[in-house]
Chain A
Amino acid sequence: MNLDFSAEEQAFRGEVRDFLGAALPGDIRERVRLGRQLSADDHLCWQNILSERGWLGANWPQEHGGPGWGPVERHIFDEECAAAHAPTIVPFGVSMVAPVIMKFGSEPQKRHYLPRILANQDWWCQGYSEPGAGSDLASLRTRAVREGDEYVVTGQKTWTTLGQHANMMFCLVRTDPEAKKQAGISFLLIDMQSPGISVRPIVTLDGAQEVNEVFLDEVRVPVANRIGAEGQGWTCAKFLLTHERTGIAGLGHAKQALRHLKSLAGRLQHRGRPLLELPSFRQRVVKAEIELMALEVTHLRVLAAARDGGAPGAESSLLKVRGSELRQELSELTRRALGPAALPFFPDYLYGEQKLEPERAENAAVSAQYFNRRKLSIYGGSNEIQKSIVAKTLLGM
Chain B
Amino acid sequence: MDFSYSDEQRMLADTLERLVADQAPTENDALPGEPSTLWGTFAELGLLQLPFTEEVGGLGGDGIDVMIVMQALGRGLVREPYLAGLLLPGTLLASLADAPQQERWLTPLLAGELRLALAWQEAAARHDAHAITTRAHRQSNGWLINGAKQVVLAADSATALLVTARIDDGTLAVFLVPADTPGLERSDYPTLDNQAASDVQLKDVVLSHDARLGEDAAEALDKVLALGRAALCAEAVGAMEVACEQTLAFLKERRQFGAPLASFQVLQHRMVDMHLHLEQSRSMAILAAASLERPADERDYRVAAAKAYCGEAARFVAEQAIQLHGAMGMTEECRISHYARHLVMFDHHLGDVDHHLEFVGERLSAA
Contact = CB atoms under 8 A, between A and B. Distances in A.
B257 A135 contact: yes
Contacts of B319: 328, 374
Contacts of A344: 151, 189-192, 197
A205 B332 contact: yes
Contact of B151 (A211, A279, A328, A341): A341
12 contacts: A158-B327, A204-B337, A205-B329, A279-B358, A279-B361, A280-B361, A335-B344, A343-B192, A343-B349, A344-B151, A371-B340, A374-B323
A126 interface: no
Contacts of B331: 202-205
Given A204-B332, A378-B330, A345 B189 contact: yes
Nearest to B198: A344
A384 B266 CA distance: 8
Contact of B267 (A203, A270, A346, A384): A384
A367 interface: yes
A280 B353 contact: yes
A378 B334 CA distance: 16
Nearest to A202: B331
B341 interface: yes
Contacts of B127: 339-340
B326 interface: yes
A368 to B, nearest CB: 7
B354 interface: yes
B123 interface: yes
Contact of B352 (A136, A203, A339): A339
Interface residues of A, number: 49
Interface string B248-284: 0000000011100000101100000000000000000
Interface of B: 121, 123-124, 126-128, 131, 150-151, 189-193, 195, 197, 256-258, 264, 266-267, 315, 319, 322-323, 326-327, 329-333, 337-338, 340-341, 344-345, 347-349, 352-354, 357-358, 361
Interface of A: 129, 134-136, 139, 158-159, 202-205, 207, 211, 268-272, 275, 278-281, 328, 332, 335-336, 338-346, 367-368, 370-371, 374-375, 377-379, 382-384, 387
A278 B126 CA distance: 13
A184 B190 CA distance: 49
A202 B329 CA distance: 12
A295 B126 CA distance: 33
Nearest to B259: A136
A203 B327 CA distance: 11
Given A129-B327, A342-B348, A378-B323, 4 more contacts: A336-B347, A340-B127, A345-B192, A384-B264
